[in-house]
Structure 1
Amino acid sequence: MKKHFKRFRVRTVSAVAALAFAANSWAVDPFTVRDIRVEGLQRVEPGTIFGSLPFRVGDQYTDDKGSAAIRALFALGLFKDVRLEVQGDVLIVVVEERPTVADVDFSGTKEFDKDTLKKALRDIGLTEGRPFDQALADRAEQELKRQYINRSLYGAEVVTTVTPIERNRVNLTFTVTEGEPTKIKDITIVGNKSFSTSTLKDLMDLSTGGWLTWYTKSDRYSRTKLNADLEALRSFYLQRGFLEFRIDSTQVAISPDKQDISITINVTEGDRYVVSGVRLEGDYLGKDEEFKTLVKIKPGEPYNADQVAETTKAFTEYFGNFGYAFAQVEARPEIDRANNRVAFVLVAEPSRRAYVRRINVAGNNRTRDEVIRREFRQFESSWYDAEKIKVSRDRVDRLGYFKEVNIETTDVPGAPDQVDLNISVTERPTGSLQLGAGFSSAEKLGLSFAVKQENAFGTGNYLAVEVNTSKYNRTIAFNTVNPYFTPDGISRTFDLYHRSSRPYENQGGDYRLVTSGVGLRFGVPFSEVDTVFFGAGLERTEIVEGTNIPAAYLAYAAQFGAKSNTVPLTIGWSRDDRDSTLVPTTGRFQRFGGEWGVAGDARYIRANYQYQQFVPLAKAYTLAFNGELGLGKGLNGQPFPVFKNFYSGGLGSVRGFEQGTLGPRDVTGASIGGPRKITLNTEVLTPFPGAGNDRTLRMFGFVDIGNVFGENEKFTFSDMRASAGLGLSWLSPIGPLRIAFAQPIKKQPGDRIQKLQFQIGTSF
């Protein structure tokens, strides 16, 4: 009876309050534990239980230890119920495990794919194999609703269905009724006097909708987007002298049916101030004059917060060049409200020098660490150098493998003279696969295949294979680039190709131009933005006669033979300091390429130079220039080989004219190109109407000038062709897409006009 009484008391206490064995009337007399047994386990290891108990065999058991044991076991989150039973001097731990999640599924989800939602639930602790309870299901419902609210689906409803299955497991199904997205009905700005509401609304990415909002989704409310828009408003005013501008409040009201949102922004503009002067105070390492050259603040002009920020940033970075990673620079305004003038005092405190302890890389799920680290010019265990860190960041960004590249500096706890650099990247797809098939009465069935990978297997190597089986244009080509053939950054490019083509398809006929070759090039970096290329190759070109062959091809074959073997030597140079390779807004790109047929049947020299300049006009407006000059000349008394000619016309040169049709023609009327080429392009890129400030979809207006000239022709403006027009640029999932509608404004009789053209690939 005594043993039975003790067991009843302990079971009752654990069921009523798993806390404390509080009442002395239910107390168990202390005893020495001879054995501990566990009952009720299914998946949990016994060691997990024993490891959580505050006593062992041989220890004395007390009510306080029993309370602590129950609390510890419940805290594991693995059990629905825990009981302690005493049989003499044996302690029995009776547990009931929580069920585990066998499967998570979703029903009715259209806005998200299931993997995205599963990841969101995994982040809060709900995934297959984890213990389940109702509180976790409630958190999951709230997380799913939060995900839908972020997409402006405020009316989304989530219902959880729990289905028990064998072995104490459950299947979870979340049934979602998404409803219609909540859209912005109106945006009101209160307190603006100097600028119109429409002008301020144009600065914002959020909008009340338009004909293109199905693509931009700018009429869907997002707190993150609103915060960015408020910063855009603040920046707009602070750039124009309104030193004391502030946003007083923001109200976001949602309609009862959760379909409409109204946004009200209350602002106080304040007065407009003019800068009266700038002076330096503090420790500038004895380089005051050097720092003064970095000042962007201009006395006599309206206050501009960007100039102040640029100045303090330039000062901080310049301190960083000397190892002062913790330098503090403060721009203190001295405001003269009576005259609406402000003077700035730039106070500097360099603090202490620091060196980089460790460089950490994150976000590269596919790209190997080595590919990123080898672009760094700041090294671990070296003095901190802000200029080298900036160059390192730019070099990683120019790889083209990442959407975003960010570097943060963090202090090392307990080491005041050390910092860690954390570089985070967001990868983008770097490969493309193209499959195509076509059928025509002339070419019959033609198949094409191309695979290109800029970052093959995450190694940073470029790999491309191209196959085309059409009747008149057959290609087998292989190309690979190893950008770090040597540890010093010398690149190696290998080309192997066989092409059989008919250049002028619109003339019909069955002649062919067959070119086979192999090439090897090396690129030697001479600076952070300059690379020089050297290479050599072997090339064989054969003119296969047939019907409608251009007379220029016949004449060349008759004089020099239908087959030409050439040993071309190549040399090139490139310089690229653009801010982006896909959507550049500032910077310059230059490229020169030379080819010398040094041996073989065809002796010639061929050179091409390209220059691009991008000038930012405003936040979303860019002015772009492109110029290209090509020159070729035959050597040893030979003419320039006709199969090496430059071509012009169409996208990439002078739009509005058929691709490759400008320049000299032979007696058959075929456009055969020429050894000299000039192209000039000017573009103004603007946001696409209705797309807000989305840089992936833009319009552009352009003017093109150019032509191709024969070897004995002169460059004359009267022979140039020109066009103007409008176009659309879109960074589509399959690559940069450009569509242009051009109107020739300078043409000659016989020119082949093609006003609407499109291309996937190049910028100009």
Structure 2
Amino acid sequence: MNKKLPRFGVRTVAAVAALVLAAQAAWALEPFKVRDIRVEGLQRVEPGTVFASLPLRVGDEYSDDKGSAAIRALFGLGLFTDVRLEASGDVLVVVVQERPTVANVEFAGAREFDKETLKNVMRDIGLTDGRPYDKALTDRAEQELKRQYLNKSFYAAEVVTTVTPIERNRVNLTFTVTEGDTARIKDIHIVGNKAFSESTLKGLFDQDTGGWLSWYTKSDRYSRAKLNADLETLRSYYLQRGYLEFRIDSTQVALTPDKQDISITVNVTEGERFVVSSVKLEGNYLDRDDEFKSLVAIRAGEPYNADQVAETTKAFSDHFGNFGFAFARIEAVPEIDREKGQVALVLTADPQRRAYVRRISIAGNDRTRDEVVRREFRQFEASWYDGEKIRLSRDRVDRLGYFTEVDVESQEVPGAPDQVDLVISVKEKPTGSLQLGAGFSSAEKVSFSFAIKQENVFGSGNYLGIDVNTSKYKRTLVFSTTNPYFTQDGISRTIDLYYRTDKPYEDQGGNYELVTTGASARFGVPFSETDTVFFGGGLEQTRIKPGTNIPAAYLVYADRYGYSSSAVPLTIGWSRDSRDSALAPNVGVYQKFNSEWSVAGDARYVRANYQYQQYVPLNKKFTLAFNGEVGVGKGINGRPFPVFKNFYSGGLGSVRGFDQGTLGPRDVTGASLGGPKKVSLNVELIAPFPGAGNDRTLRVFTFADLGNVYGDNERVRFSEMRASVGVGLSWISPLGPLRLAYAKPVRKFAGDRIQELQFQIGTSF
């Protein structure tokens, strides 16, 4: 029976045959002394390339062995499809036929991938414009394209390569792709489970059989990598609950003949459930056994939990690292008593040897300068290895906000057992942002704002931002720049320039406005690794431009202190942020305190506000979030608190369901004046969007808001606070985090302005 040779075999036979024929052509020449060497057939390859590869030189004696070696060397360049040696008298003639050159690579029918991305893949293979055409590379590129489509569940995808010769011995390559439809997961079955239901176990998987939001989550598209991750989640689920001997026996993935549906079957053996009977320490613990015992997270009498074991061994390893032992080995050995269903754990430690850091390298920072990362490090080169400082350094780099991933890897130095190299691998993310905001009221009033910010200008670590509000009634232009390392000690400097005009609301019909211009500078001094205190000062001028329907409070202030007021505010503030993410927090606390004290000028006052946020994960899907903010202002030196420094509340960021900034005292004209006292309380329950599985980029939340603004002579009364409840949608969109909220006031008073539907991009709460 005839068997078709594999492509690789055919190419190998063809190459060997060409070499044999060429060698025969070389052997047909009688030995002679080479007087000259001439090359024929070159079009783009330089003659020097050929001469440099020949083992023959003018004056050498030609022989069969040297001719064969010359042909092999020229074929080895990969530039020629044919090579012959001829003799014209005592002149050696090298006749070559060049490979065609790739003129252009195009893709037809490829909709799932960007064409530039595909061209980059081809470039990595070696198939790109200007390179010699190689059939083997073309076949490899074809297979790579198919692999890319298989990774996205396009199992019916087909790729056909067309080679079109053009002038000057060049070819155009066209990869025509027929994508077909994606294969969907039709069934997922788990066989062998007894302790937990199949629905419970399948709920752990990120892959599923799809829902009405599968077009967004793509959770019903099969991926081997995602399935492996789901299997690890399944394994962890059992190992956390005492099933020490749980194993996954096999996984079958079946594809229907039409390549449209996929069935996944996972066969498991649960084993018995074991309870920890005791935990013992053995080995060398540096005479600090009590310290290490305090790090043990495993509890006797509770079911075996692999996470607690991993947490304990990691804590031991980290603690050894604090004393310079970078290569400490900790092993948890289970001693199983099957009759009693118990397991005793023996933690054996070998600290190995103490080491110091020889070199620190940074990888992955294509845009960010090395010094931006290095200045956050507390572990130094040529110093003893200190695990605590390394972890702190990693966290500081991560908190810069320039990277999606930050990893620190320790590498042994060959031949130096007491040395270690650290490699910081980062993955950069876009640090520029565009923030948009809009609000809709029952009167169909629309307001817009936007901001452009760059947190890592030219990779320097500096911040540059421009905030613009183009509303007809509130216009703002703010320019801000921050140098986080104004001094080598890590003192930051921020400069703000701003111009604001405030006008009355549309339905008030007035044309007065407040114009505020100013500049400020503040410095951030790191008092500890987690706390920064800010000091600063500025100059500010506020002009009251009179017009119709101007609030009486403004006229009273202007008549007494003038229509133009200057101030020299000194500022002091403090911040701490331990959230796991600034975009979609799940755990952690954020605190911020700011205060102002005007020590000179027409306006004399003190003003302070404090904000506290906390995120509490209830389980893998649900998060409870709290936010509270308190503000207070007071006039000093016998002067009242300036009306243009009042706090405002209502709308996004305070009490949703009410028109932005309309709560609190009002003028006789009905204008919202704000006040020197503000209280806001918010609570949210955040969950994945129905049908989105465990995807945390699209979530829904329910909320309750409470708050108000009070006048100078008013007491803060709970009975006067406005309250609302509602639902919302949170989406990490390409433009930034978007939050859409629909709120219904549950406590409101006459004259309150209601704004039930609001959305904003780029904010939290």
TM exceeding 0.5: yes
Aligned residue identity for 1:628: E
Structure 2 counterpart of 1:8: none
Per-residue CA shift, 1:267-288, capped at 9, x if unaligned? Answer: 1111111111111111111111
**Do residues 392 (structure 1) and 393 (structure 2) align?**
yes
User: Which residue number corresponds to residue 82 of structure 1?
Assistant: 83
Q: Are 2:592 and 2:612, in contact at CA under 8 Å, matched by a contact in 1?
A: yes
The structural deviation recorded for 1:602 is 0.8
Give the 3-state SS of the residue equivalent to 1:668 in structure 2.
Answer: coil
Q: Which residue of structure 1 aligns with residue 557 of structure 2? A: 556
Distance 2:220 2:39 in 1: 60
1:398 and 1:580 in contact (8 A); partners too: no
2:230 aligned residue: 229
Change in CA separation of 1:350 and 1:538 when aligned onto 2, cut-off 3 Å: same
Partner of 1:9: none
CA deviation after TM superposition for structure 1 residue 364, in Å: 2.1
Match of 2:416 in 1: 415
The answer as to whether partners of 1:14 and 1:82 remain within 8 angstroms in 2 is no
Residue 629 of structure 2 aligns with an amino acid whose one-letter code is E
Quick check: 1:662–1:707 contact (8 Å CA) kept in 2? yes
* 1:705 Cα deviation after fit: 2.2
Equivalent residues in 2 for 1:581-592, closer than 5 Å: 581-592=582-593
TM-score by length of 2: 0.93
User: Structure 2: how far apart are the matches of 1:234 and 1:413?
Assistant: 37
C-alpha displacement of 1:216:
0.7
Deviation (angstroms), 1:84: 2.4
Tell me by how many angstroms 1:541 deviates. 0.6
Work out whether residues 703 and 722 of structure 1, in 8 Å CA contact, stay in contact via their aligned partners in 2.
Answer: yes
User: Using the alignment, how far apart are the partners of 2:448 and 2:725 within structure 1?
Assistant: 36
CA distance in 2, matches of 1:60, 1:616: 83
- Report the equivalent of 2:134: 133
Q: Distance in 1 between the 2:485 and 2:123 partners?
A: 39
Partner of 1:496: 497
Are the counterparts in 1 of residues 23 and 67 from structure 2 also a CA contact under 8 Å?
no
Return the alpha-carbon distance in structure 2 between the equivalents of residues 435 and 587 of structure 1: 26
Q: Deviations over 1:21-61 (max 9, x none)?
A: 88899576655544433322222233333333344444454
RMSD value over aligned CA atoms?
2.6
2:607 matches 1:606: yes
Q: 2:742 corresponds to which letter in structure 1?
A: F
Contact 2:434 2:735 in 1 (8 A): no
Instruction: Show CA shifts across 1:203-231 (max 9, x none).
Output: 11111111111111111111111111111
CA contact (8 A) 2:658 2:753 kept: yes
User: Is the CA contact (8 Å cut-off) linking 1:737 and 1:758 kept in structure 2?
Assistant: yes
SS in 1 for 2:52: helix
Q: In the TM superposition, what whole-angstrom CA distance separates every residue of 1:234-267 from its partner, at most 9, and x where no partner exists?
A: 1111111111111111111111111111111111
More displaced stretch, 55-64 vs 273-282: 55-64
Helix, strand or coil: the match of 2:141? Answer: helix
Counterpart residue number, 1:535: 536
Matched residue, 1:739: 740
Q: Secondary structure at the match of 2:557?
A: helix
Distance 1:688 1:549 in 2: 46
Provide the residue aligned with 1:682 in structure 2. Answer: 683
Q: CA deviation at 1:523?
A: 0.9
Q: Which shifted more, 681-690 or 24-33?
A: 24-33
1:469 Cα deviation after fit: 5.8
User: How many Å separate the matches in 2 of 1:61 and 1:314?
Assistant: 73
CA drift at 1:475: 3.2
Match of 2:639 in 1: 638
Matched residues in 2 for 1:246 and 1:426: separation? 34
Q: Please say which of residues 43-52 and 304-313 is displaced more in the overlay.
A: 43-52
**Aligned AA (2:167):** E
Contact kept in structure 1, 2:615 and 2:626, CA below 8 Å: yes
Q: Note the C-alpha offset of 1:717.
A: 2.3
Q: Measure, in 2, the Cα distance between the counterparts of 1:515 and 1:151.
A: 55
Aligned residue type for 2:107? F
Q: 1:744 Cα shift?
A: 2.9
C-alpha spacing 1:469/1:501, structure 2 compared with 1 (3 Å): same
User: Structure 2 unaligned runs (5+)?
Assistant: 1-13
Q: Which moved more, 1:524-533 or 1:210-219?
A: 524-533
Q: Check 1:506–1:322 CA distance in 2 against 1; reply closer, same or farther (3 A cut).
A: farther
Q: In the TM superposition, what is the alpha-carbon distance from 1:704 to its structure 2 partner?
A: 2.1
Shift of 1:729: 1.1
1:293-332 to structure 2, matched below 5 A, reads 293-332=294-333
CA contact (8 A) 2:476 2:499 kept: yes
Helix, strand or coil: the match of 1:18? Answer: helix
**Which residue of structure 2 lines up, in the alignment, with residue 239 of structure 1?**
240
Q: Secondary structure at the match of 1:590?
A: strand
Amino acid at match of 1:569: L
Rounded to whole Å, the distance in 2 between the matches of 1:700 and 1:22 is: 77
Q: Specify the alignment match of 2:249 in structure 1.
A: 248
CA contact (8 A) 1:19 1:67 kept: no
Residue deviations 1:506-552 (CA, integer Å, cap 9, x gap):
42311101101011111111222211111111100111121222232
Partner residue in 1 for 2:5: none
Task: Judge conservation of contact 2:436–2:762 (CA < 8 Å) in 1.
Answer: no
2:327, 2:303 → 1: CA distance? Answer: 31
Contact 1:492 1:520 (8 Å CA) reproduced: yes
Correspondences of 1:148-159 after superposition (within 5 Å):
148-159=149-160
Q: Deviations over 1:422-447 (max 9, x none)?
A: 22222222223579999xxx9x9999
Kindly tell me the number of residue pairs found equivalent between the two proteins.
748
Identify if the C-alpha distance between structure 1 residues 391 and 56 changes in structure 2 by more than 3 Å, giving closer, same or farther: farther
Aligned residue in 1 for 2:6: none
Report if aligned partners of 2:435, 2:762 keep a CA contact under 8 Å in 1.
no
CA 1:14–1:567: 2 relative to 1, 3 Å: closer
Q: Which residue of 1 aligns with 2:10?
A: none
Distance change >3 Å, CA 84–CA 500, structure 1 → 2: same
Aligned-partner SS, 2:455: strand
* Displacement after TM superposition at 1:330 (Å): 0.8
Q: Which residue of 1 aligns with 2:267?
A: 266
Q: Which whole-Å CA distance do the structure 2 matches of 1:706 and 1:305 have between them? A: 45
Q: Structure 2 CA distance, aligned partners of 1:221 and 1:75? A: 43
Structure 1 residues 73, 617: closer, same or farther in 2, change over 3 A?
farther
**1:498-517 equivalent positions in 2, closer than 5 A:** 498-502=499-503, 504-517=505-518
Q: CA deviation at 1:122?
A: 1.4
The 5 A counterparts of 1:342-741 are 342-433=343-434, 450-467=451-468, 471-502=472-503, 504-741=505-742
Q: 1:679-701 CA distances to partner (integer Å, 9 max, x unpaired)? A: 22222221111212222111222
Question: Equivalents in 2 of 1:31, 1:55: separation in Å?
Answer: 12
Q: Which runs of 5+ in 1 are unaligned?
A: 1-12
Quote how far apart the aligned CAs of 1:358 are. 2.4
Matched residues in 2 for 1:113 and 1:243: separation? 46
For residues 342-399 of structure 1, what are the alpha-carbon distances to aligned partners after superposition, in whole Å with 9 as ceiling and x for unaligned?
1111111111122222222222222222222222222222222222222222112211
Stretch deviating more after TM superposition (197-206 or 16-25): 16-25
Task: Supply the distance in 2 between the matched residues of 1:673 and 1:43 (Cα, whole angstroms).
Answer: 78
> Structure 2: which amino acid aligns with 1:141?
E
Task: Pick closer, same or farther for the CA change 1:487–1:669 going to 2, 3 Å.
Answer: same
Does the 8 Å CA contact 1:358/1:381 hold for their aligned counterparts?
Answer: yes
| Aligned residue type for 1:330 | E
Amino acid paired to 1:539: E
Q: Structure 1 449/586 Cα, relative in aligned 2: closer, same or farther at 3 Å?
A: closer
Whole-Å separation in 1 of the counterparts to 2:337 and 2:286: 31
Determine the structure 2 residue equivalent to 1:4. none
Q: Is the 8 A contact 1:151 1:220 kept in 2?
A: yes
1:92 Cα deviation (Å)?
A: 2.9
What is the TM-score when the length of structure 1 is the normalising length? 0.93
Q: In 2, Cα distance between the equivalents of 1:709 and 1:245?
A: 62
Contact 1:21 1:64 in 2 (8 A): no
- Where does 1:69-218 land on structure 2 (aligned, <5 Å)? 69-87=70-88, 89-218=90-219
